[in-house]
Amino acid sequence: AQSVSQHNHHVILSEAASLELGCNYSYGGTVNLFWYVQYPGQHLQLLLKYFSGDPLVKGIKGFEAEFIKSKFSFNLRKPSVQWSDTAEYFCAVNAYNNNDMRFGAGTRLTVKP
Amino acid sequence: DTGVSQDPRHKITKRGQNVTFRCDPISEHNRLYWYRQTLGQGPEFLTYFQNEAQLEKSRLLSDRFSAERPKGSFSTLEIQRTEQGDSAMYLCASSQVGNTEAFFGQGTRLTVV
């Protein structure tokens, strides 16, 4: 079964700093990849997704992620974070045609104003 | 609000009692998922329905847990003889066939005392 690991549990940045959150998955077959965000007190929302095609995926709010198949990675990036990006970020994967979506443990991002 | 809704938002129960949660998915979505999330962890897959058929169940779903989706619309998750280890956030999500992006509700937070 697939699994997901997120390397950073808590990241603290100042506004305008660049962000990169690591995500690695273990599964040998075709996968769909996702980043979800959970703002304080709110439900999980989709930031971006990769199904196929261009491995560089752009999402909402200036986020992007790059799928590197050889490294089994799907890292999330943003060139300049804002205070409003403070949230918990979850990487998720499901195998193609499998509805068992596996989530990482999450990375809490705190952006200092 | 046309998103996924869950009821109740919070539930406190005594150990040994039964509890039932409800999820109303987005109306045109025929797939419905239940997840459990504990503090510091990402959501863990519990079970999945396509229309009224329960197609997948995680090994996490012990025999004290049962889920139904009788008419292919709303779903219920029942936990019998609750234990303190059942304390968690229970999340519901829905999606459409052919599009594996899942939309999440705000969850039901269960506290077993």
- pLDDT per position as a tens digit, B59-108: 888 899 999 999 889 999 999 999 999 999 999 999 887 666 889 999 99
C-alpha Rg value of chain B to the nearest Å: 13
Closest CA to A91 of A42, A41, A1, A31: A31
Residue listed under structure tokens 């979505």: B29
Q: What is the DSSP letter of A45?
A: E
Smallest Cβ distance to A94: which of B4, B100, B103? B100
**pLDDT for A97:** 66
| Exposure b/e, B80-112, CB count within 10 A at least 16 = b | eebeeebbbbbbbbbbeeeebebbbbbbbbbeb
All residues of chain A having their beta carbon less than 8 Å from the beta carbon of residue B7 are: none
All residues of chain B having their beta carbon less than 8 Å from the beta carbon of residue A45 are: 104
Please check whether residue A59 touches B, CB under 8 A. no
Please check whether residue A97 touches B, CB under 8 A. no
Please check whether residue B58 touches A, CB under 8 A. yes
Other Cβ atoms within 10 Å of A56 Cβ, number: 11
> pLDDT, tens digit, for every residue of A38-67?
998 888 999 999 988 999 999 999 999 999
> pLDDT, tens digit, for every residue of A3-36?
899 988 999 999 999 999 999 999 878 888 999 9
- Say yes or no for a CB contact (<8 Å) between B48 and A99: yes
Mean pLDDT (whole number) for A73-100? 90
Which amino acid does the sequence have at A47?
L
Other Cβ atoms within 10 Å of B45 Cβ, number: 23
B 10-39: CB under 8 A from A: 31, 33, 35
Closest CA to A59 of A95, A35, A39: A35
Cβ neighbours for B24, distance < 8 A, ≥ 6 positions apart: B4, B5, B6, B7, B73, B74
CB A57 within 8 A of CB A49: yes
